[in-house]
Chain A
C-alpha cells in the first residue's frame, strides 16, 4: 500500500489544487494523509514521521518554496526519512526548478499537470508493499 502525505506549507489560503491531487491519488488506490492549510515545515516533517509515508507531496502557491522546501527536506533527512519521495506542485518559476531538485525534490509538477502523470510517477518510483 502506497501512503502519501499531501501537505500545504506556507501562508497561501487555497487548497483546491491539493485536494484535487489527494482525490486523484486516492482514486489510484493510495492512502492519502491530508493535513490542511498553513503547515509549518516542522508540522509537515512530523506528520511524515508519524504516518510513515513513502511520499510527501507539497503544494505551494505562495512563492515561499525557496525557504520552505529546503527546510522540509532537511527535517525529513534529520528524522531518518531522507529516502522519502519528495514532490513539489504549485507555482514554481522555471528558474527555481534546479535549486528545488538540488534541495531534494524528485520532481516539480507545474500548474495544469495531468494528475495521471503524478499517479504514474509515484507508482514507478515507489514499490508497492
Chain B
C-alpha cells in the first residue's frame, strides 16, 4: 500500500479511498502519520468543526445523519467522526454509530468514520485531532464529531471543535443536574431532541432557567433548539445557529484559538511519542539494569538518568564504575 507524499496529495484532492487510508495512518500514529499531517496541516481551516455530545441514546447519531443530509441539501459536504469506547480489558470495540447513519453515508458528499477510544492517555484526543485534520484538509465544508458522555477525554475532544452541541432528550436519565459537571460549560448550542416525546418543554424550561443563573451574561448565549431527529425536524435551524456561532467566533477573533488548540494537541502528542520512543530505547540498553541498580544504591541520581534518557544518549551503565 502506498503512503508518503502521494497519499497526502490524494487526500488534498478529496479521493475517498485515500482519505480512508490516511485516517488509518494518522490514527496509528508514528513517523508516517507525522509526515502526512505535516503535508495536510497547511490546507486546513476551511471546515466548520462541530462537536456533538450527550448521554447514550439521546439521538446524536440520528442528528448527525440528518445534519449531514441538511448540509447536502444546501450544496455543502460533511465528514463525520463517531467515537466509541474501547474495552479496557481487551482493547476491542463495537462501533455501532453507523446503524443510525444509513442515509447520509451513502451520499458521495459525505464520509463517515468510526473511531475507537483505544484507551491511551491523550491518545484519543490526538487521534481525533489528527482525524479532523485529514477530513478538513480533504475539503469537507462540515466536520461533525460525535462522542458519548462527559469523560475527560470527551471534553478534550470537544475542545477541538469550534462549535459544541450538547444533546439532551426528555426522560433519558439526563436531567440537567446530572450533566452539569463539565459539559454544560462547554456548550455553544443545546439541542433538546425527541421533542415528539412528553417532557421536552420541561427540559427546555429547565435549561433556560439554568443558563439564566450565570452571573454575568456571557458574550455568547447558547441557543436552545428543539428537534425530532427521527423525523428530520429542526435540522436546518441547527445549521443556521451553527453558522451564526461561527460568525460570532470570527468577529471576535476566537476562531483562531481553536486552530491553535488543535495544533497544540498534535504537538503535545508528538512530544509524548518521542519520549516514549526514547524510554523504550533506554530500556533496551544493556546498561539499563546497572543504571537502575546505581539509582537504588544512591550512587547515581534519578533525575540525571532521566535527563540522559530524554537526550537519547546511549551507554546507560557508563555513569557508574
Cα distance, A28 to B92, chains bound together (Å): 7
Does B178 reach chain A (CB closer than 8 Å)?
Answer: no
Residues of A within 8 A of B105 (CB): 43, 46-47, 50
Does A95 reach chain B (CB closer than 8 Å)?
Answer: no
Cα distance, A47 to B102, chains bound together (Å): 10
Could you tell me which residues of chain A, from 1 to 58, have a CB within 8 Å of some CB in chain B? Answer: 1, 22-23, 25-36, 42-43, 46-47, 49-52
Does B28 reach chain A (CB closer than 8 Å)?
Answer: yes
B104: min CB distance to chain A, Å: 11
Does A80 reach chain B (CB closer than 8 Å)?
Answer: yes
Cα distance, A109 to B16, chains bound together (Å): 32
Q: Which of A31, A49, A80 lies in contact with B93, CB distance below 8 A?
A: A31
Chain A 72-85 near chain B by CB (<8 Å), digits 1 or 0 = 00000001100000
- Please tell me if the beta carbons of A34 and B99 are within 8 angstroms of each other in the complex: yes
Does B233 reach chain A (CB closer than 8 Å)?
Answer: no
- Please tell me if the beta carbons of A29 and B94 are within 8 angstroms of each other in the complex: no
- Please tell me if the beta carbons of A26 and B94 are within 8 angstroms of each other in the complex: yes
Interface residue tally on B, bucketed by range: 20 to 34
Residues of B within 8 A of A42 (CB): 106
Cα distance, A31 to B45, chains bound together (Å): 30
- Please tell me if the beta carbons of A27 and B98 are within 8 angstroms of each other in the complex: no
Does A67 reach chain B (CB closer than 8 Å)?
Answer: no
29 contacts between A and B (CB under 8 A): A1-B28, A26-B93, A26-B94, A27-B87, A29-B90, A29-B91, A30-B92, A31-B86, A31-B92, A31-B95, A31-B114, A31-B116, A32-B92, A32-B93, A32-B95, A33-B95, A33-B114, A34-B94, A34-B95, A35-B98, A35-B99, A35-B102, A43-B105, A49-B16, A50-B20, A50-B105, A51-B113, A51-B114, A52-B20
Report which A residues bind B (CB closer than 8 A). Answer: 1, 22-23, 25-36, 42-43, 46-47, 49-52, 79-80, 129
Report which B residues bind A (CB closer than 8 A). Answer: 16-17, 20-21, 23-24, 28, 86-87, 90-96, 98-99, 102, 105-106, 111-114, 116, 118
